[in-house]
Structure 1
Amino acid sequence: MSAVTLEKQLLFLLSKVEEIDSNKLIKIFERMGNTPQIVRNGLSKLKKQNYIISINRSVYRITPLGEEVLASYNVRRDFYSKHWNGKWYIVLMEIPETLRKKRDIFRRKLIQLGFGQLNKGVYIYPWDVTSEVMNVIDTLEIEDFVTILTSQEFLLNNISTDGEKGANKASEIWKIEEINTKYQQRFEQFKTELKPVVDKLIQTEAPDELTITAYYLEIEKMINELLDIDPMLPPEFLPGSWTGTKILSELTRTQEAWGRFCCFLTKK
C-alpha cells in the first residue's frame, strides 16, 4: 500500500468513528501488510496537516479539515445518481513548453477528475467539477494559459452516444471498454479473494472484528481505484455491456454489510 493510499484509508476509517486508539489502528493496518512504524508515520503526517487531532495520548479523531479533504477525494462518488442537464464543460489549454511540468500535472489532474481528451489541448466532461479545476489552476498558477467554457450544443461532430455514428465517440474518448474490463477484473478479485474469507469469518461464533475491518478497508481501496478511472458518464454514453454501475453498487452494498460486524465503526 502506498503512503498516499494509507493516509487516505486512515482518514476514511477515522471518519467512521468518534475516536480510535492508535494501537487498534496499527492492528487493523498490520492485517493489510503494513508495519506499525508506517502506520505511525501516516498518523503523524495527518496530524501535522491538521487533518486529525490527538485528543489524548494515542487516541485520534478526524478534524473538519480532514473531513473536507476526504470529501474532495470522492468528488465523483455520486455522479451515477444525478440527472445530466445536457451541458458540457470544456477546458482549453495552451501551456508553453517552458512550463511543461505544470502542463503535464494539469493534464493528469483533468483526467483524474474525469475529463476526456477531445483534441490536443481540449478536454471535455459532462459534470460540473469546475471548482476542482480552478483549484488546480490556482495552485499551478497557469490561469493565463487555460480557458474554461460550457456548451449544450455541438454544431458539428457532437459527442456520440452508444451506438451512434460520429467522429467523437464517447467510448473512445474515455476508453470505456478498457474501464469496463478493469471493473470486471476487480470484481473477480473481490469474489475470489475477499468475499469468501469474510463470509467464513462472519459465520464464526466470535468474528474477528479487526480482520473484518481490514477487509472492509480493502473494499474501500478497490472502490477508490475504480472511481479513479471511471468518468461516470451519463447512461446514454455507456454501452449495453457496461458493468461498472452494477459492480460499484455490489461492492458498496457488501462493504456496508461488513461494516455492521465492526461495532466501533459507527459514530456516536
Structure 2
Amino acid sequence: MTIEKQLLYLLSKVDTMDGKELLKIYEAMNYTPQTIRNLLSKLKKEKYIVSVDRSVYSISSSGRDVIHSFYRKKNYYMEKWNEKWYIVLMEIPETERKKRDTFRRNLIQLGFGHLYKSVYIHPWDISHIIINMIDSLEIESYVTMLASSEFILNKISSEGSSGTNKASEIWNLEKINTLYKEKLDWFEQEFEPAINQLLKDKNPDILKIFTGYLRLGETINDLLLIDPMLPPEFSPKSWMGTNILDKFNKFHQSLANLIPKDSFYHLFLEKNHN
C-alpha cells in the first residue's frame, strides 16, 4: 500500500488538494497519471478519501485512522529502557477471526515478538496504543495485558547469553538486519548519488527534492514497522539498524531543510521537520 499510503499522508496535511497537484508530484516519481487516478478512485471507493469538488480531494476520518496506524510507531532507539517487558495474551475465538488476524498483524508491526501461541512480548510501553486497538476492534473480553521486569523461568536472552527465549530468534533479527543492509545499498548506490547530482544545479528542482524526501521518508517508515528496536543488550554485534536509521534520518532532515518555507511542498513536511 505504499503509494496509497503516501497519497493519504499528503491529503492528511491539507484540508483539500487538487488532483492536478497530486498528478504533478507522482509524475515526477515516474508514475503515470492513469495509475494515480486509479488509486484515487480506489481510495474514494474504500471511503478513505472524499471528492469535495471535481478532482479536488480531502481525507476522510477513516483515512486518517489508516494513516495513524502506519505512522504511530516512534524511533525507540532514542529512548531509555525501563527494563520492563509488556506482554499481550489473547484467546480470540474463531468467530472473530478477522479481528484476531488484524490484531496480530498490528502487534507485529508495532514490534511485538511472538513468544508462544497467542502470547506476544515487547520491551517498550505502548500500552495506550494497544488499548486503543483493543477498544476499536471490540475484543477487550479476549485480551489480557501485563507488564513485568522479572522472569522466574526462561527470561528473554540477551545477545551472547544462553537460554530458550533468544531475542534474535523471537524477532528474527538476522532477516531484519539483511533488509537493513539492502536498504543501505540502495541508499548509497542509487538514492544518495541521484540527490547529490541534483544538488549540483545552482537552482535545484524543489519538486524533485520533495519526491526524494517522500521516498526516503517511506523507506524510514517501512524500516520502523519491521524493526522491534530492542534495547542494545538484545541486539547482535553485527546489528546495523541503529546506525542506518540515524544516517537516513539525518539525510531526510537535510532534504527537508532544502525545501523553502514559502514552497507549496513545505506544507507536507513531517512535524519534526517544520
TM, length-normalised to structure 1: 0.83
| One-letter amino acid matched to 2:184 | F
1:129 is aligned to: 126
> Which residue of structure 1 aligns with residue 144 of structure 2?
147
1:162 equivalent in structure 2: 159
Aligned twin of 2:205: 208
Is contact 1:17-1:266 (8 Å) kept? no
Displacement, 1:9? 1.8
Residue 133 of structure 2 aligns to a residue whose secondary structure is: helix
Matches within 5 A, 1:80-91: 80-91=77-88
Q: Describe the SS at the equivalent of 1:183.
A: helix
> Shift of residue 223 of structure 1?
1.0
Give me the whole-angstrom Cα distance separating, in 1, the residues matched to 2:246 and 2:192: 15
Q: Is the 8 A contact 1:16 1:266 kept in 2?
A: no
The superposition leaves residues 117-154 of structure 1 with CA deviations (integer Å, 9 ceiling, x where unpaired) of 11111110011222222233233332222111111110
SS at match of 2:187: helix
The residue that corresponds to 2:74 in the other structure is: 77
Native 8 Å contact 1:92 1:146 kept in 2:
yes
- Specify the alignment match of 2:183 in structure 1: 186
Contact conserved, 2:156 with 2:166, CA < 8 A, in 1? yes
Q: What corresponds to 1:232 in structure 2?
A: 229
How many angstroms does 1:49 deviate by? 6.1
- Cα gap change, 1:95 to 1:251, in 2 (>3 Å): same
Query: Does 1:177 find its partner at 2:174?
Result: yes
Matches within 5 A, 1:220-259: 220-259=217-256
Could you tell me which residue of structure 1 aligns to residue 135 of structure 2? 138
The offset of 1:188, in angstroms, is: 0.3
AA partner of residue 228 (structure 1): L
Code of the aligned partner of 2:100: R
CA distance in 1, matches of 2:54, 2:101: 43
Counterpart residue identity of residue 182, structure 1: L
Post-superposition CA distance 1:6-31 (Å, at most 9, x none): 24323444677898654333212112
SS at the partner of 1:262? Answer: coil
Higher relative contact order (CA 8 A, sep 6+): 1
Change beyond 3 A, Cα 1:209–1:57: farther
Shift of 1:158: 0.9
Partner of 1:23: 20
The range that moved more, 156-165 or 133-142, is 133-142
Q: Distance in 2 between matches of 1:16 and 1:136?
A: 24
Residue of structure 2 in register with 1:35 after alignment = 32
Give a deviation string over 1:59-80, Cα, whole Å, max 9, x none.
7788999778645433322211
Residue 266 of structure 1 aligns with an amino acid whose one-letter code is: H
Distance (Å, rounded) in 1 between the aligned partners of 2:62 and 2:54: 21
Distance 1:57 1:105, change over 3 A: closer
- Give the root-mean-square deviation of aligned CA atoms: 3.1
Identical positions, percent: 50
Q: Matched residue of 2:80: which SS?
A: coil
Alpha-carbon shift at residue 227 of structure 1 (Å)? 1.1
Unaligned runs of 5+ in 2: 268-273
Residue-by-residue CA offset, 1:181-211 (whole Å, 9 max, x unaligned): 1001011011112111111011013312222
- Residue 128 of structure 1 aligns to a residue whose secondary structure is coil
Given that 1:52 and 1:63 are in contact with CA atoms closer than 8 Å, whether structure 2 keeps it comes out as: yes
User: How many positions carry a matched residue from both structures?
Assistant: 264
- The aligned counterpart of 1:119 is 116
Residue in structure 2 matched with residue 103 of structure 1 by the alignment: 100
What is the TM-score when the length of structure 2 is the normalising length?
A: 0.82
- In structure 1, distance between residues paired with 2:190 and 2:158: 36
| Structure 1 range deviating more: 228-237 or 91-100 | 91-100
